[in-house]
Structures are given as C-alpha cells and as structure tokens.
Structure 1
Amino acid sequence: MYFLILLFSYLLGSIPTAYLAGKLWRGIDIRRYGSGNVGTMNARAVLGWGAAVPVFLLDLGKGMLVVYLARLAGLEGNIALLAAVVGHIYPVWLRWQGGKGLATAFGGLLLEQQFFGILAFCGVWLCIYLFSRDSDRAGLGGALAFTGLAAWRGVAPGKLWLVMIGLVVAWKHFVELTRKGR
C-alpha cells in the first residue's frame, strides 16, 4: 500500500497543468515561451491570469489531495507530498523538465498545517523579492528559510520529509538561477 500511495503521489504531482493549459488555451507548448518553466508564474507570463489561476489551484490541489489520501491510508502525509513535489519538478511525461514545486508544496503544507513554515517562506520570499526583483532568488531564500525552520522546529517522523521538501524546492530554484547565470 505504501508504495502505491507514493507512486500515485508522484504520478499525480507530475501532471503538467501549465503545459496542459498552454495546449488548451493557445495550442502552444509553454516550455518554448517565457522562462520555459512549467509552472504558475510562466503560465501567468505567457497565458495571462485567466490560465495562471486555474494552474495554481490545480497544482495546489495536487499537494492537498496526496496528503489527504495518504492520511486516509494511515501513512505520513509529508512523504506523499514529497513524492508529489518531486513529480511536479521532474515529471515523467515531460522528460523530467517540470515546474519549481511551490504550488504543489504549498497545498500539501496547508493541509499539514505547517503555517509557521509557510509564513517563513512567504516573509523571506517577499523581502528578497522586494530588493532583487528576482523570483528565483526569492524562491531559493524562502525555501531555505522553510527548510531551516522545519529542521529546527519540526516534529518526528514528518520532520525529515518536511526538510526534504524544502531542499528539493530550494535545489530547483538554485538550478534555475545557475541556468540563467544569475
């Protein structure tokens, strides 16, 4: 059962909602426009808010759904969330090139009631963004703040998975920064 929940979580997380929105809204491959990313921010930049809001809500819902289903099965929600975030970032359907995992992580973290971690992420993200105007730098800083807080105040056994979620999201933002040469 454990393996099936993790596999389902990964596969659900890997559904590329921004890519599908690009195909449905404009008949385009969103990876060829804007930042090339398959996430909410690029959907907003390329397709507009009308597509970005549903993309965000669906990605948020993916995180919430896997946590909910894992709990129903009597499993740790955070490990299912980690699988979904990894699926979002490295989707099998798009040759491992996905989004940055924030909306999916955010949805699951809301259901896991990780409010202090979410506030830490948002506060650091906002501060860095106001000074740098760079969402990748802000995302990296926010993810590292979340990771640090999760490591410091998390509770076992979910603590390890929370730290891993933060590190995976931070890594993806770091990779984006180095790819862009910033």
Structure 2
Amino acid sequence: MILTSLLLLAIGYLLGSTPSGYLAGRWLKGIDLRECGSGSTGATNVLRNVGKGPALVVFLVDVGKGTLAVLLARSFGLNDWLQVLAGLAALAGHIWPLWLGWKGGKAVATGLGMLLGLAWPVGLACFGLFMATISLSRIVSLSSVVAAISLPALMVISGSSSAYVVVSLVASLMVLWRHRSNIERLLAGTEPTIGQKS
C-alpha cells in the first residue's frame, strides 16, 4: 500500500505537470507563454495570447488533471488523506512543472478539478462564486481570489472530513500565494480585465 500510495502521488504530480497551456502557445502561435503577458501557463494567459477556443480546452484539461489525480487515488482504495495528497500533488505539478523549469500556472483550474473529485458540491459552489464575480468585475484574478478565500468556509459548512477541510486551507493559500502580484495590482487598481493585455 505504501508503494501504491507513492506511485499515485507521483502520477498526480505528473498529471499536474502536463503543460497544456504551454503546448497550446507553442503549437498554435509559436510562443512561450512564460515570456508573454503574466508569464503564467494557465488558461487566462492562453486566452489573452492565443485565443478563446484554446483557452477553453486548456481550462478543461487543467480541471481534468486535478479530478483524475483524486479519482485514481480513490479507485485504489486510498483514504481521504491520501486522496487529498494526490490532489495536492497535481496542484504542485501545475504550479511547478517538471518539464518547464518549475514555472507553470496558478492552479485555479486544477484546484477546481481537485475539489470536484473530492467534494463536487463544494467545487460547484466555488465555481459559481468565480463566475458570479467575473460576470460583475470581468477580472479573472479577482474571481480566483474570491473563490479561494471562500473555499475553506464552504468546506466546513458542507460538513466534509477533516482531511478535506485541511486541503481546502492549503489549496486556498497556494492559490493566493500564486496570485500575490495580481493582488498587488488589484489593490493598485491596475489589474487588467478580460480583453485587456496584462
């Protein structure tokens, strides 16, 4: 079981490391997203520099990475804590991908995927908050920050296990840390809206 757990954690990390946004930029525009816009390889930077269709595909792939890591762990009978670790491994892989010199995305979509795998009602509630905020503000980073801050409270309200509550706190902090430059721009009033270049 120890070897199985370690293998599934490694698989979770490798899933998260799949550089979907980077590949979209390279294949479709011949650009390195790490040198464009925000420097992130996530769906938002793909939207701004490659296009809407590729951004949607990247978003769905990144969500799938987080969900698949959790569901694989569950299918092998791993407990809640190990399922959580598999999801966090996918998040870590997305943020610090092996293939891209440890510089990846901000883990919002992959974090959503992890939540959908662990506790789908909480995942959908977070996505709802994200969409409501983006419809009002048209600022992706603000929507991500609102969803991240709300996550631990939603997990507690849902009555989820202590493992899920802990992972919600960790995932929230990871997302907020990755958005620290965005938060500075939000406070300064200089964060771009959808359709603007960052």
Q: TM-score by structure 2 length?
A: 0.79
Q: What residue in structure 2 maps to residue 101 of structure 1?
A: 107
Superposed displacement of residue 22, structure 1: 0.7
Partner SS for 2:26: helix
Q: What residue in structure 1 maps to residue 14 of structure 2?
A: 11
Partner SS for 2:179: helix
Q: Percent identity?
A: 38
Partner SS for 2:66: helix
Which whole-Å deviations, capped at 9, do the CAs of 1:103-138 have from their partners, x for residues lacking one? Answer: 11212222323313531x345435554565432222
Give the whole-Å Cα distance in 2 for the aligned partners of 1:154 and 1:131: 30
Give the whole-Å Cα distance in 2 for the aligned partners of 1:27 and 1:117: 34
Task: Give the count of matched residue pairs.
Answer: 181
CA contact (8 A) 1:101 1:169 kept: yes
Unaligned runs of 5+ in 2: 189-198
Give the whole-Å Cα distance in 1 for the aligned partners of 2:128 and 2:69: 26
Q: What residue in structure 1 maps to residue 92 of structure 2?
A: 86
Give the whole-Å Cα distance in 1 for the aligned partners of 2:163 and 2:143: 28
Unaligned runs of 5+ in 1: none
RMSD: 2.3
Give the whole-Å Cα distance in 2 for the aligned partners of 1:96 and 1:26: 22
Superposed displacement of residue 19, structure 1: 0.3
CA contact (8 A) 1:5 1:70 kept: yes
Q: What residue in structure 2 maps to residue 112 of structure 1?
A: 118
Q: What residue in structure 2 maps to residue 161 of structure 1?
A: 167
Superposed displacement of residue 176, structure 1: 3.7
CA contact (8 A) 1:23 1:29 kept: yes
Q: What residue in structure 2 maps to residue 140 of structure 1?
A: 145
Superposed displacement of residue 68, structure 1: 1.4
